[in-house]
Amino acid sequence: MFDWLEFDKSIKKGFEEQAAQLNSYLSKRIEKNAHIRDLPIFEEPGKETIDRILSMDIPAKGRDPVEVGNELVNDVFEQAMLTQHPRFFSFVASAVSPYSLAGSILTDVYNLHVGGWEQAPGAGAIEENLVKWMGRLAGYPETNIGGVFLSGASMANMSAMVTARDSRLAPEDFAKGVAYLSDQAHSSNQKGLRIIGFRQDQIVKIPTDDDFRMRADLLEEAICRDRQNGKIPFAIIGSLGSTNTGSIDPLTELGQIAQKYGLWFHIDGAFGASILISPIYSNLAKGIELSDSFSWDTHKWLMQIYSCSTLIVKDRKNLLNSFAEHPEYLADVRSSEHNDSWDLGPEMSRPARAIKLWYTLQATGTDLLAELIEYSFFNANLVKKELSKRPNWEIVSNPSCGTVNFRYAPAGLSDEALDELTGRISKEIINRGFAFIVTTTLKGKRTLRMCTINANTTEKDILQTISQLDEIAKYETANL
């Protein structure tokens, strides 16, 4: 029979033991992180480790928790890609703020339920405060700003499309709706539209110009053509910092077109919305004030632990319209004065994601974070400057939002050979363990992409990386 007293004792003992164990794991790793530059960028687990994990049974009787914890640290946490490394230049990956770490650990220890306001009013107030701050930075009028913290921009972009659909299309017209985005928009936007039921032919990709910005003239043409054919254009998605190149669409023109034809204007600012805090670069986001909604991943450029994204809308009644439900079992715990976040987005039980960002912003201040943004621009420009001093390097996309694309293109090689060479250079710099740089493809050309937004990346890191790339490029060309 179930022995509750025994169970209770074991749980208490478990918490006591785990507190000591956790302290030891944390202090060891935090000490290591302080010397992150000396750590390997990618410690790949051996095949036997992965095979062992895959073949492990879930035991009927629990094992020694210290052994389990040690296994996790050694086999899982320590053997992975260190995306926080200062020479990890792929994805949109940044260093982690110590205050975000502290906020994140506290969030787990307290395990607040922030589905509704009443369960944790302080956390609700922090979330509302930050959403309003973000909206104000974008130039939204204060009174109606609304928003919700979500796991990532994939969720934020999808939730924005739910709101756009419900605001601009009658249910019987869903099958005629069309959404527009550029050929450089992040795949999460298209994926979100598909998840919520739009067919591929209802998602129109507009070509970009030489700077990878959406062609506003072609957008307007497409909207007019679709209207003439009986379709109902309902949403434009602009990019503020595209993943490939950091490019920023002509937001003002897109906003004006959205207003002219009555479309919802969403901006994917997952990456680039952070420039709003920089007095020097925020003007690049001009036009965002015309949008109806935007997403902002602070786990990208603002040094947050993952799962810290926000969807911000100009008028929160649109979120309530799409997401509010009133089940009888929540009737007693609804807030009478504030919006409950389960009414503002797709989630119910969720962690207090805003707390780590609040901790960081309060402890660091926006001045220093703005300098980080400006430093990222400086580093991407430095990459271009250094490459331009050396023969055969071609800049394929100019630095934008701390992102630059380039390739080694000596005369006389075919397009296929150049693509092959680019792939080999990426592979070799990763094999050397010096820097992590992968390729992407821009207008048919395979390129090396560097995203220089890590606060710990130094000028020396950049100079040494370029020097190694140059050496590898010469060697690989000779051996092609």
Q: Are 479 and 60 in contact (CB under 8 A)?
A: no
- For 35, 121, 161, 315, 326, the CA distances from 27, given in Å and listed in that order, are 13, 32, 43, 44, 45
Q: Which of 128, 220, 297, 470 binds ligand PLP (CB under 6 A)?
A: 297
**Residue 185 or residue 469: which is nearer to ligand PLP going by CB?**
185
Q: Are 82 and 40 in contact (CB under 8 A)?
A: yes
- Burial state string for 85-102 with b = 16 or more CB within 10 A and e = fewer than 16: bbbbbbebbbbbbbbbbb
Smallest gap from residue 210 Cβ to ligand PLP (A): 20
Query: Which secondary-structure segment (H or E) carries 137?
Result: helix 121-137
Q: 446 φ, ψ to 5°?
A: -75, 130
Which residue's CB atom is positioned nearest to ligand PLP? 152
CA pair distance 150, 249, nearest whole angstrom: 24
**Residue 309 or residue 477: which is nearer to ligand PLP going by CB?**
309
Smallest gap from residue 473 Cβ to ligand PLP (A): 27
Smallest gap from residue 454 Cβ to ligand PLP (A): 15
**Residue 405 or residue 468: which is nearer to ligand PLP going by CB?**
405
CA pair distance 263, 233, nearest whole angstrom: 7
Q: Which of 186, 231, 353, 445 binds ligand PLP (CB under 6 A)?
A: 186
Q: Are 213 and 182 in contact (CB under 8 A)?
A: yes
Smallest gap from residue 153 Cβ to ligand PLP (A): 3
* Residues in Cβ contact with 447 at an 8 Å cutoff, skipping those fewer than 6 apart: 396, 397, 405, 406, 407, 422, 439, 440, 441
Q: Which of 128, 220, 249, 268 binds ligand PLP (CB under 6 A)?
A: 268
**Residue 300 or residue 445: which is nearer to ligand PLP going by CB?**
300
Binding mask 116-155 for ligand PLP (x = CB under 6 A): ------------------------------------xxx-
CA pair distance 438, 429, nearest whole angstrom: 9
Smallest gap from residue 356 Cβ to ligand PLP (A): 15
The residue type of 237 is I
CA pair distance 361, 370, nearest whole angstrom: 11
Q: Are 187 and 244 in contact (CB under 8 A)?
A: no
Binding mask 308-337 for ligand PLP (x = CB under 6 A): -x----------------------------
Binding mask 214-253 for ligand PLP (x = CB under 6 A): ---------------------------xxx----------
CA-only gyration radius of the chain, Å = 24
> Which 78-97 positions form the footprint of ligand PLP (CB under 6 A)?
92
Could you say whether residue 166 binds ligand PLP (CB under 6 A)?
no
Q: Are 192 and 167 in contact (CB under 8 A)?
A: no
**Residue 297 or residue 315: which is nearer to ligand PLP going by CB?**
297
**Residue 270 or residue 361: which is nearer to ligand PLP going by CB?**
270
Sole window of 42-50, 248-256, 267-275, 331-339 interacting with ligand PLP (rule: CB under 6 A): 267-275
Tokens 């906020």 belong to 103
Tokens 């205050």 belong to 99
Smallest gap from residue 350 Cβ to ligand PLP (A): 15
# residues contacting ligand PLP (CB under 6 A):
14
User: Do you know the residue count of the chain?
Assistant: 480
| Residues lying near ligand PLP in the complex (CB under 6 A) | 92, 152-154, 186, 188, 241-243, 268, 270-271, 297, 309
